[in-house]
Amino acid sequence: MKSTLLKIAATSILLTLALLLHPNLSSAQQDVKKDKSQYDKQARHEQIEAQKIAFITQELNLTPEEAKVFWPVYNEYEAKRHELKKSFRNVEYIHKDDMDKLTEKEASQILDNQIIEAQKFLDLRKEYHAKFKAVLPAVKVLKLYGAERDFQKMLIDKIRQHKPTPPPADKK
């Protein structure tokens, strides 16, 4: 009886170890963690977008008629802005400690790419500025730009409140 229990216990331990150490199962567990992380990120993004819509609607005091024509235009603008951001993720931003290591040609190329990026964002802003003025009074378009800045500032403040303050650096 005792030897049967030992065999069952040993088999259970070996089976558990085999399952934990099996590479496919291990990567499957990592994939589940990645999926959950991606889901959490998506849920956070959707929550922030909902808060932004509520904030802008309130700040602009949109009527139902204005909201009906404004939000499709704004959503189109945001989608194009998002695509621009994605396309420029590869634009190099060099940490200040690494700038001295660049050749003149590399530095010039990075600067030129940054200007190209800024110009594309400005072109998009100009295009949608005209579209916003076509669906809203100019005063509300002006309020829109302020509301976008205020919302972004509010988000940054919330993030700062949730981050622990780093200890002061030792001065030598």
Residue pLDDT, tens place only, 68-89: 999 999 999 999 999 998 887 7
Looking at residue 109, what is its pLDDT?
87
Looking at residue 17, what is its pLDDT?
39
Looking at residue 25, what is its pLDDT?
45
What is the percent of the chain with per-residue pLDDT over 70, rounded to a whole number? Answer: 69
Looking at residue 19, what is its pLDDT?
41
**Assigned domain for 165 exists:** no
Residue pLDDT, tens place only, 22-71: 444 445 555 555 566 667 888 888 999 999 999 999 999 999 999 999 99
Number of domains observed in the structure of the chain = 1
Residue-range definition of the domain harbouring residue 146: 61-160
More confident residue, 154 or 165: 154
The 3-state secondary structure of the chain reads CHHHHHHHHHHHHHHHHHHHHCHHHHHHHHHHHHHHHHHHHHHHHHHHHHHHHHHHHHHHCCCHHHHHHHHHHHHHHHHHHHHHHHHCCCCCCCCHHHHHHCCHHHHHHHHHHHHHHHHHHHHHHHHHHHHHHHHCCHHHHHHHHHHHHHHHHHHHHHHHHHCCCCCCCCCC
**Assigned domain for 7 exists:** no
**Assigned domain for 74 exists:** yes
Q: Rounded to whole angstroms, how far apart are CA atoms 157 and 172?
A: 31
CA 157 from centre of chain: 16
Residue pLDDT, tens place only, 116-164: 999 999 999 999 999 999 999 999 999 999 999 999 999 998 888 887 6
Looking at residue 136, what is its pLDDT?
97
Average pLDDT, the chain: 79
**Assigned domain for 88 exists:** yes
Q: Read off the pTM.
A: 0.66
